[in-house]
Amino acid sequence: MARPLRIEYEGAIHHVVNRGIARRELFRDDRDFERFLSSLEDGVEQYRVRLFAFCLMSNHYHLLVETPQANLGRFIHSVQTSYAVYFNLRHRSTGHVYEGPYKPKLVEGDDYLLRLSRYIHLNPMEIKSRSEKPVKEKAKALREYLWSSYPGYVGKKGRKDWVAYGPMEALIRERFGKRKGAYKNFVERGLVKKDADLDELMENRLAVGSESFLEAVGRMYEERKEGHRIPEDVSFRRTGERVSPEHILSEVCNELGVDRKELARRRGSGWRRGVAAKMLLQYGGLTQREAAKVLGLGTGAAVCMRMKDLSQRLEMDRFMREHLKRIERALSATE
């Protein structure tokens, strides 16, 4: 499957959507929802993105995310692959889990960012069984919907430390002052009157924003498309089938010229364990906590630290980047 050309740059804000294959259920019960959130949390920590809002529905998801390191593709690939492996194993299915490649749109900041967060958070009320209820009932259901970042914004549930609430709240303060419940009122006004202009803006396949922003993104897209070679996207070939941890560790040790005992040493093998952790997440579909157990690291936070060490090394070491590419090619061939 060809990978669509996507625009990434440092500090870009993206609205990301994907659906279950053939629009079937992506989340069948609470356990599925919870596992996707776990994969999302790991991805936010690993790739150091800022997640402003999310909403999971039974057959699709929405994310509103900023990428300080211009790494949206790697972030989404990690989250989706981890969940797809879990989903197929748990539900005894095979093949693709998602409808296709994820669909990102660049988002202009400030007003458009606020309005898009409202659009995302109102999603649970769009289904027919809820859309016809009285406004008060819909507002109550919205505040209690577990699979959205909205309850954290309005204080109904404990906040998640991997969601960046601050930027949206700062925008609300700029617009409405320090009025209590300002964001709740802003979002829930959408239960009474829809943002028709935003619905029109959502029709643009590349971006959400002002006319000048849409034109700028369009030009950027056309410039990058010129002479762009579209490679094969291995992330959607067979993402529902994982590579065993043993095979992954074997490939890592072979390529790096170390044995398993050396990989397990606490001193002097930090970046090597980072390579192993990265491959376990990417090709084994493990969460950071599961990878930590395989590598004897104790906690998911320790895995995150090893991958940060690796990231720093990769920036300076061209040969290390070549090692990593060879490991990825070997593991891709076994998926």
Full set of structural domains in the chain with CATH? 12-225 (3.30.70.1290), 243-334 (1.10.1750)
Q: How many C-beta neighbours within 10 Å does residue 280 have?
A: 25
Report pLDDT for 38.
Answer: 92
User: Among 72-76, 126-130, 225-229, 310-314, which is the least confidently predicted range?
Assistant: 225-229
CA dist., res. 137 & res. 132, Å (int): 10
List, for residues 156-168, the tens digit of each pLDDT value.
677 999 999 999 9
| Mean pLDDT of the region 95-102 | 90
DSSP string of 164-222? Answer: --HHHHHHHHHHHTT-TTHHHHHHHGGGTS--HHHHHHTT-SSEES-HHHHHHHHHHHH
Tell me, rounded to whole angstroms, the distance of Cα 195 from its chain centroid.
26
Place of tokens 């060879």: 326
User: Among 19-28, 94-103, 311-320, which is the least confidently predicted range?
Assistant: 311-320
List, for residues 40-82, the tens digit of each pLDDT value.
999 998 888 999 999 999 999 999 999 998 999 999 999 999 8
The 3-class SS string of 99-147 reads CCCCEEEEECCCHHHHHHHHHHHCHHHCCHHHHCCCHHHHHHHHHCCCC
* Residue 242 DSSP code: P
Which one, of 116, 115, 114, lies nearest residue 105 by Cα? 116
| Mean pLDDT of the region 217-241 | 55
Three-state secondary-structure class, residue 244: coil
Q: What percent of the chain has pLDDT over 70?
A: 90
pLDDT at 334 over 60: yes
Q: How many C-beta neighbours within 10 Å does residue 128 have?
A: 6
Report pLDDT for 234.
Answer: 30
Residue 314 tokens read as 């990769």
